[in-house]
Structure 1
């Protein structure tokens, strides 16, 4: 019975994650301005990349995410970094962005409200969202080579 319940829960959880819709939200930018998801989203696809300064795989993935931003920004794809650092480590965010030469917008989720709303359970987590605000792809973690899989998913939906 436990195994059956576990399988049903897993299937339900995975299906619900794939059909998740993102509501418009407000967040603070690195420049301390309030921005909304609707103002940041792409014409076609939006990539949300959840990361933190203490997360080594996050920092390794960010130059690849920058490459995706550069390659696809003229094709209606927007990339938004969502930093999840708390108040004590927030001072590290700008220097990291500068040292990694990141040009895509970064928003702050200090209280992890957005992370919780979108069921982001680990870092890094990358979401691809379609023009109707539906999450169409979710990728957790990062090892070298994952960037190819992410690009394949982007190409599939362009």
Structure 2
């Protein structure tokens, strides 16, 4: 009987350790921030241009930096499959995509933890579950170089038609209201 009780205690400790470890790794890199004032942090990519890249989206289509060319503004959201705030904001980004596409605004996701060599099953499931229709890119070397500028996800950048990254950005989870206010200011020329 003592061995059974001792075994149960050990098993509970092992399970507790596994749960805590899983939680810690699940949150690494993920800010957990809700909405963050973009003036809190400085955008390390402000006024830089996207380097040329050639990657694929989740549907297997080839995508290059030309994705920015035909839009006045592209919202670029860097996210990870392990990050719950990233996934929670995806419906907000879809609403932005739906409501601003006729004004020359696009939304593009960059999946920070999936490269061209990885399985896309997890990202496909997330995109399907959140009913996201905007383009989501797999990381190539140049996109990895870009995402490595941030020690957290999600991050939302604003990119003009020439691929220039604007100074304003949203570190942490974005909301529809936050993003629409920024977009309206940019489209009016206030940023």
TM-score category, normalised to shorter length: 0.7 to 0.9
Structure 2 residue 52 is matched with structure 1 residue 24: yes
Query: 1:68 maps to which residue?
Result: 96
Residue 130 of structure 1, CA deviation: 1.3
Query: 1:105 maps to which residue?
Result: 135
Larger-Rg structure: 2
Contact persistence 1:53–1:89 (CA under 8 A): no
SS at match of 2:51: coil
Query: 2:71 maps to which residue?
Result: 43
Query: 1:122 maps to which residue?
Result: 152
Give distance in 2, aligned partners of 1:134 and 1:14: 16
How many pairs does the alignment contain?
143
Residue 45 of structure 1, CA deviation: 0.2
Show structure 1 runs of 5+ residues with no match: 1-12
Flag the 1:68–1:15 CA change in 2: closer, same or farther, 3 A.
closer
Query: 1:152 maps to which residue?
Result: 181
The alignment's TM-score, normalised by the length of structure 2, stands at 0.66
Contact persistence 2:56–2:63 (CA under 8 A): yes
Give distance in 1, aligned partners of 2:122 and 2:150: 22
Flag the 1:151–1:80 CA change in 2: closer, same or farther, 3 A.
same
Flag the 1:105–1:41 CA change in 2: closer, same or farther, 3 A.
farther
Residue 107 of structure 1, CA deviation: 0.9
Residue 102 of structure 1, CA deviation: 0.5
Structure 2 residue 80 is matched with structure 1 residue 80: no
The alignment's TM-score, normalised by the length of structure 1, stands at 0.79
Flag the 1:89–1:57 CA change in 2: closer, same or farther, 3 A.
farther
Flag the 1:133–1:88 CA change in 2: closer, same or farther, 3 A.
closer
Structure 2 residue 160 is matched with structure 1 residue 135: no
Show structure 2 runs of 5+ residues with no match: 1-40
Query: 1:6 maps to which residue?
Result: none
